[in-house]
Amino acid sequence: EKKFARDVMRSFFDFVVDIARTSRMSAKELGELVEEVEGLEEYRAVRARKCGAILVTAHLGTFEAGLAALAGAENKVRVVFKRDSVAGFEQIRSKLRDSLGVIEAPIDDGVGTWLALREALLNDEVVVMQGDRAVPGQKSEVVPFLHGHLRLPTGPVRLAQLTGSPIIPVFALPSKDRRYRVLLKPAIEAQVGNGGANAMLRSLADAIASVVKEHPEQWLA
């Protein structure tokens, strides 16, 4: 247990250092950090349908750096996030996204952000969201997760039902030489009704759990 705790803390510090390191890089330099993208052909097949895509990730690895792989393949990428209470960290992270041409969509700004996300998806853009942690006041549901349960935000599912856009789980894991491996999991298709919403959320939880199980020391939630 002590070793596992040390490994998680090491991953957290690596994440903070990577944010600072990559914020000083150009989009080209960031793209060169992506060693491999798994599931890219399947992703391209889904995107060929021109119905937008909701990419859902987790607090696992260094996803801001992994965005470089998506920014190079998409015309417009919007990242949904909650502003960090540490202003210095938020400035560094914002600088990194700006260098990639990624559009920020802070949920702190309320319903206007959600309306803009809906329109973006209907225009065949990509929206990226965290899916493994519900913030206070955010609509969420408790679902089975590995050997227990986890409260997940329902925002990605609600957006999928509103727009018909698929949910695609995506993760960026550290690789050798301070580079990254991006995992694109199979798409979760939009389903209607409460039963459909529950099924989609369970599928998303399973996708996150499959990566957490393989890399538990990387999961910072």
Evaluate if residue 92 carries a pLDDT over 70.
no
Distances in whole angstroms, Cα of residue 42 to Cα of each of 20, 105, 203: 32, 27, 17
Least confident segment among 16-30, 57-71, 80-94: 80-94
Determine contact, residues 155/139, Cβ cutoff 8 Å.
yes
pLDDT recorded at residue 87: 66
Higher pLDDT, 210 or 174: 210
Residues counted in the chain: 221
Evaluate if residue 66 carries a pLDDT over 90.
no
pLDDT recorded at residue 64: 67
Query: How many CB atoms are located within 10 Å of the residue 6 CB?
Result: 11
- β-strand pairing of 126-130 with 140-145: unpaired
